[in-house]
Amino acid sequence: MDFMNKRLTITLLVMLLPLSTTFASDKTFRYAKEDNLVELKNDTLTIENDLIKRCWLWNNGNLITRSLVDKGNNIIWNTSNELPDLYIPHESKTATDADIQCEEIAESARYTKQLQIFISYKLGKIEVKKVIKIYPNCPVIACEIYLKGKASHTWGNENNNPEELHNIVELTKHISAGNVPILEQLSLEGRHWQIEADEFFDITDQFNTLVHPVRALSYRNCLYRGNLLFAENMEKNGGFFMLKEAPTSNIQLHYPKGDFLTNVGTFEMIGLGVDSADLKTDEWTRAYGYATGVYRSVEKEKLIALRNYQMHIRPFLKERDEMVMLNTWGDRGQDAHVNETFCLKELETAAKMGITHFQIDDGWQTGRSENSAYGGSFVNIWRNPNYWTPDPKRFPNGLAPIVKRGKELGIEICLWFNPSIQNDFADWEKDADVLISLYKKYGIRTFKIDGTAIPDKLAEIRLRKIYDRVMEATNWNAVLNLDATLGKRGGYFFFNEYGNIFLENRYTDWGNYYPYWTLRNIWMLSRYVPAQSLQIEFLNKWRNENKYANDFFAPGKYSFDYLFAITMAAQPLAWLESQNLPAEAFATGETIKKYETIQHDFHTGYILPIGDEPSGRSWCGFQSIRDERGYFIIYREDNQSNSYTMKTFLNEGELIGFTPVLGEGKAFRARVEEGGRVTFYLPQMNSYALYSYYIISKN
């Protein structure tokens, strides 16, 4: 997006001075409204709200951080940064043509309420634009970066002996010598820093452990992989995090072998996702973005600071974003069953299950053999003028009868879509227009986006153009289920403004659907990723029982209610053909319908994992935290004890009332013990309880 085309409410044109000159303009720029303040005075730029404040040396727009303040906890971090926060190797150090502008952004289907600050400047022949974003009651400042122009030198890839970079000492020397672009950096006082670096994995057809955390002490030059770095100072009892808004580390573009370079008190986020060759003189190229937030050194404060920001990226609207979806691909019928008769029958049985969204996967479209995520050639697909229209043999009346019956049953119709990947999405405009036409003709707005790949910057740019064009044409009414199962895609922290994430393919046919595996993946991710932004599957446990033989953790060992309950913290996905279910399965429809009455209330809390890591034999769960109340989902896996004292995010001494909503729990009251511990009871193994809770008294 070219933010210079936006309506700008306040503008200040800044004097142009060489870098060696201290900026001392007599002009003053000040924006103050509610809790937000943006002020440029003399040589200092300050941006703050009620919880966070950051001050920079203006440096003609090429900002150098001078302090970071956690206002909520009265912690001040003074910095000794020497380089600008954004560092581009071998480019001019003298910024010119500096400009600063502000715009208030009102709450809408596209945005949560926020203030955006636009800063632009030139470094030689390169133009830089930053969009800094700050939100009310949020201890985080985020930044998007755009570049344009012509680089004077290749960035970050030159070394006399590349083989030396396999040695970590040589690699860190190479990076710290200024050979790699830096997105964000802080140099803070103190030597006693604890670090947590978290690397993530999508490509879930390949990976079944999706988070790899590393915990360490800050010491000399160390390189860490991951989208997320937490750093806590043990003397000040406070910390900050840096979130790199990029695909996962193993598939980022122009990856410098790591994401964070740290030394004692020094923290650098590296890798722009842009190479000098990617820049254009007439069009902005978007680099990876970042967010930096502050918190007190308490686990609850740390995770809520991150989650607070993440819940501001895309407004979470009940009518648009909540769903209990059915997609029949999980029964491995693939496209063979997809036709009008099949879909109408599915809708009837889906309604008994309480399904709210029915998604027709691959097979609905004309020309499937030319472009399929499951074996098509992706070649010359637009030579067929009817491509991506309903197959007339399978749907002789188009999709209208399906949409009509869905509306009568209260079920929204959704579709699978595979953008045309050839030549870096050269047909991106046609792909976007297909989705828009389906929206206009049928009212279909939720699309599973599959088969994508981001091998280079041009592919990423065009893929984003598809998404932006669809969103703008639908007034941000669309939801894109971004498939994370295969290929170079967006991961968990990129393209988050467009919808939710289709997390994984698991099938009883292949014997790779295990309920505790699914629970473990959402449980591990939910510490760092909003659970409500993930689609999590439950399958027909009665199929393929022979594939599991005497397997102790076979899906058939669990109740169907329990399989659904595993998905409740997320967006539940019935990955099955509902007409194949036995009669006994439809009793779970009552559970699903009751869940839907509290689904949005549950999902608008801060959902965090509690208990032990799911293993098939653990006690574990989720807590949804609201002001004085919230929800718990507790799972007792195959564990011999009928009670478990679990660490929660409640405060010691509080008296809590628990009311069962679903599952096998009983109403009770409990005084929270040391460390936030509460004892839960479940009478049966492989059972669950969903509670609402409220704080009766503080002590």
pLDDT digits (tens, 9 = 90+) for 340-366: 999 999 999 999 999 999 999 999 998
CA–CA separation, 463 vs 479, rounded Å?
A: 15
Asked if 626 and 589 sit in the same domain, the reply is no
Q: Band the pLDDT of 159: cuts 50, 70, 90.
A: very low
Q: What is the mean pLDDT of residues 240-265?
A: 97
CA–CA separation, 180 vs 204, rounded Å?
A: 30
CA–CA separation, 602 vs 56, rounded Å?
A: 39
Q: Is residue 161 part of a domain?
A: no
Asked if 517 and 662 sit in the same domain, the reply is no
Per-residue pLDDT for 14 more than 60?
no
Q: Is residue 160 part of a domain?
A: no
Per-residue pLDDT for 13 more than 60?
no
* Burial environment of residue 677 by CB neighbours within 10 A (0 to 12, 13 to 18, 19 or more): middle
**pLDDT, tens digit, 9 for 90 and up, residues 67-106:** 999 999 999 999 999 999 999 998 988 999 999 999 999 9
Q: What is the mean pLDDT of residues 540-562?
A: 97
- The string of DSSP codes covering 477-546 is --EEEEE-SSSS--TTSSSGGGEEEE-----TTTT---HHHHHHHHHHHTTTS-GGGEEEEE--TTTTGG
Per-residue pLDDT for 123 more than 60?
yes
Asked if 594 and 617 sit in the same domain, the reply is no
**pTM metric for this prediction:** 0.94
Q: Band the pLDDT of 174: cuts 50, 70, 90.
A: confident
- The string of DSSP codes covering 240-300 is EEEEEESS-GGG-TT--S-SEEEETTEEEEE--S--GGG--SSS-EE--EEEEEEEESSHH
Q: Is residue 500 part of a domain?
A: yes
Q: How far is CA 385 from CA 363, 376, 381, 390, in A?
A: 17, 18, 9, 12
Asked if 332 and 377 sit in the same domain, the reply is yes
Nearest CA to 512 out of 551, 482, 484, 570 is that of: 551
Asked if 300 and 394 sit in the same domain, the reply is no
CATH number at residue 630: 2.60.40
Residue 64, amino acid:
I
- pLDDT value at residue 453: 96
- pLDDT value at residue 172: 81
Q: Is residue 589 part of a domain?
A: yes
Q: Would you state the structure tokens that stand for residue 76, as one six-digit string?
A: 């001040």
CATH number at residue 452: 3.20.20.70
DSSP conformation class of 355: -
Q: Band the pLDDT of 177: cuts 50, 70, 90.
A: confident
CA–CA separation, 459 vs 457, rounded Å?
A: 5
Q: Would you state the structure tokens that stand for residue 647, as one six-digit string?
A: 């660490």
Asked if 176 and 308 sit in the same domain, the reply is yes
609 contacts: CB under 8 Å, gap ≥ 6:
523, 524, 526, 527, 620, 621, 622
Looking at the 3D structure of the chain, how many domains does it have?
3
Asked if 229 and 538 count as a contact pair (C-beta separation under 8 A), the reply is: no
Asked if 300 and 340 sit in the same domain, the reply is no
Asked if 508 and 616 sit in the same domain, the reply is no
Q: Would you state the structure tokens that stand for residue 330, as one six-digit string?
A: 């999980």
CA–CA separation, 375 vs 372, rounded Å?
A: 6
161 contacts: CB under 8 Å, gap ≥ 6:
none
- pLDDT value at residue 385: 67
Strands 228-233 and 266-270: unpaired
Counting runs of H as helices and runs of E as strands, what totals does the chain give? 11, 37
> Interhelix angle for 588-603 vs 340-353, to 10°?
80
Q: What is the mean pLDDT of residues 176-184?
A: 89
CATH number at residue 104: 2.70.98
**pLDDT, tens digit, 9 for 90 and up, residues 41-52:** 989 999 999 999
Phi-psi region of 125 (alpha: psi -120 to 50; beta: other; left: phi over 0): alpha
Per-residue pLDDT for 639 more than 70?
yes
Q: Is residue 438 part of a domain?
A: yes
Per-residue pLDDT for 131 more than 50?
yes
Asked if 535 and 409 sit in the same domain, the reply is yes
Asked if 375 and 437 sit in the same domain, the reply is yes
Domain boundary among 313, 347, 373: 313
- pLDDT value at residue 383: 58
Per-residue pLDDT for 22 more than 60?
no
Asked if 653 and 525 sit in the same domain, the reply is no
Per-residue pLDDT for 373 more than 90?
no
Lowest mean pLDDT across 5-9, 148-152, 273-277, 371-375: 5-9
Asked if 40 and 147 sit in the same domain, the reply is yes
Q: Is residue 321 part of a domain?
A: no
Domain boundary among 574, 604, 634: 604
- pLDDT value at residue 165: 53
Domain boundary among 313, 346, 374: 313
- pLDDT value at residue 193: 97
Q: What is the mean pLDDT of residues 608-636?
A: 98
Q: What range does the domain containing 309 cover?
A: 3-154+170-313
Per-residue pLDDT for 268 more than 90?
yes
Per-residue pLDDT for 16 more than 60?
no
Cα-Cα-Cα-Cα dihedral sign, residues 47, 49, 50, 54: negative
- pLDDT value at residue 8: 36
Q: Would you state the structure tokens that stand for residue 28, as one six-digit string?
A: 């003053």
Q: Is residue 369 part of a domain?
A: yes
Q: Is residue 320 part of a domain?
A: no
Question: Percentage of the chain with pLDDT > 90?
Answer: 87
- pLDDT value at residue 372: 46
Q: Would you state the structure tokens that stand for residue 383, as one six-digit string?
A: 């030579």
**pLDDT, tens digit, 9 for 90 and up, residues 555-569:** 999 999 999 999 999
